[in-house]
Amino acid sequence: MTKVTMTVNGKSVSGDVAGNTLLVEFLRSDLHLTGTHVGCDTSQCGACVVHVNGAAVKSCTMFAAEAEGAEVATIEGQANADGSLNTIQQAFQDYHGLQCGFCTPGMVMSAAALLKDNPKPSEQEVRAYLQGNICRCTGYHNIVRAIMAASGQEVPAVAAE
C-alpha cells in the first residue's frame, strides 16, 4: 500500500492505496465521492471525467497514486459557494441536458474543461469535444444546447417557450 495525498475539491485528503487502485476507485470508495461514475472498462464512456490539475481526465485511466500532490476537482465541488448550480450545471437543467443522470457528472466536467479552453465553441466543436463522453438518454441534442447556452451563445429555447 502507498500513502497518497492530494487536494480534492479544495480539501487536502490522503489515504492508503494499492498500486493498482484507480483514481476513480479512490474517489468513490475511499472518499465516498460517488458522483463520479464508472460506465465502461475501456475508457470510452467518460462518465468518470474529473479534473486533475485543471485538465479533464478519465479517472478510470489514472492510478490514484499518480495523483499524488495533484489538485483534483469532481462534480461534488462544482456548485457555487452558496450551493446553487454553477452556470454549466444550471444550463444543463434549463435545457434538459440530462435524463437518467448517470453520464451527467462526466458531461459537466468535460463541458467545463472545454469552455475553459474555448469559451465560445461552435456547435461542431462542442460535438467533436464530446466524442469521449457517451450519453444513451438524450441523443446529445440538449447537452449540446446546454453547453452552447452556458458559453453565452444564443440557442433555440426548449419546448413550448
Partner 1 sequence: MPKDHGIGASTKRREDVRFLTGAGNYTDDINVHGQAYVHFLRSDVAHGRITNIDTAAAAAMPGVVRIFTGADFEGVGGLPCGWQVTDKHGEVMKEPPHPVLAQGKVRHVGEPIAAVVADTLQQARDAADAIDLDIEELPAVVNMKAALEEGATKVHDDLSDNLCYDWGFVEENKGAVEEAIANAAHVTTLELVNNRLVANPMEPRVAVGDFNRATGDSTLYTTSQNPHVIRLLMGAFVLGIPEHKLRVVAPDVGGGFGTKIFHYAEEAFCTFAAKACNRAVKWTSTRSEAFMSDAHGRDHVTKIELALDADNNFTAVRTETYANMGAYLSTFAPSVPTWLHGTLMAGNYKTPNIYVNVKAVFTNTVPVDAYRGAGRPEATYQLERVIDKAARELGVDPVELRRQNFITEFPYATPVAVEYDTGDYHATMDKMLELIDRDGFAARRAESEKKGKLRGLGINCFIEACGIAPSNLVGQLGARAGLYESATVRVNATGGLVVMTGSHSHGQGHETAFPQVISEMIGIPEDQVEIVHGDTANTPMGMGTYGSRSIAVGGSAMVRAAEKIIAKTKKIAAHLLEAAEADIELKDGQFSVAGTDKSVAWGDVCLAAYVPHNYPLEDIEPGLEETAFYDPSNFTYPAGAYACEVEVDPETGVTTIEKFVSADDFGNVVNPMIVEGQVHGGIAQGIGQALLENCVYDENGQLLSASYMDYAMPRADDLPEMAAYTVDHSCQTPCTHNPLGVKGCGEAGAIGSPPTVINAILDALNSGGHKVDHIDMPASPSRVWAAINNAS
Region from 38-46, 51-59, 63-71, 111-119 binding partner 1, contact rule CB under 8 A? 38-46
Among 4, 17, 22, 47, binds partner 1 (CB under 8 A): 47
Measured distance CA(35)–CA(116) in Å, rounded: 21
96 binds partner 1 (CB under 8 A): yes
Q: Could you give the maximum distance between any two Cα atoms of the chain, in Å?
A: 56
34 binds partner 1 (CB under 8 A): yes
Region from 51-59, 65-73, 88-96, 113-121 binding partner 1, contact rule CB under 8 A? 88-96
13 binds partner 1 (CB under 8 A): no
Nine-digit cell string for 123: 456547435
Nearer to partner 1, 69 or 81 (CB): 81
94 binds partner 1 (CB under 8 A): yes
Nine-digit cell string for 18: 494499492
Supply the Cα-derived Rg of the chain in whole angstroms: 16
Region from 51-59, 64-72, 94-102, 113-121 binding partner 1, contact rule CB under 8 A? 94-102
Region from 44-52, 63-71, 112-120 binding partner 1, contact rule CB under 8 A? 44-52
Do residues 63 and 21 make contact, with C-beta atoms less than 8 angstroms apart?
yes
Residues 6+ apart with CB under 8 A from 112: 51, 56, 78, 88
Measured distance CA(98)–CA(92) in Å, rounded: 7
Nearer to partner 1, 11 or 69 (CB): 11
93 binds partner 1 (CB under 8 A): yes
Nine-digit cell string for 103: 453520464
Phi-psi region of 104 (alpha: psi -120 to 50; beta: other; left: phi over 0): alpha
Positions touching partner 1 (CB under 8 A) are 18, 28, 33-42, 44-45, 47, 74-76, 78-79, 85, 89, 92-94, 96, 98-105, 108, 123-124, 126-128, 130-131, 133-145, 155-156, 158-161
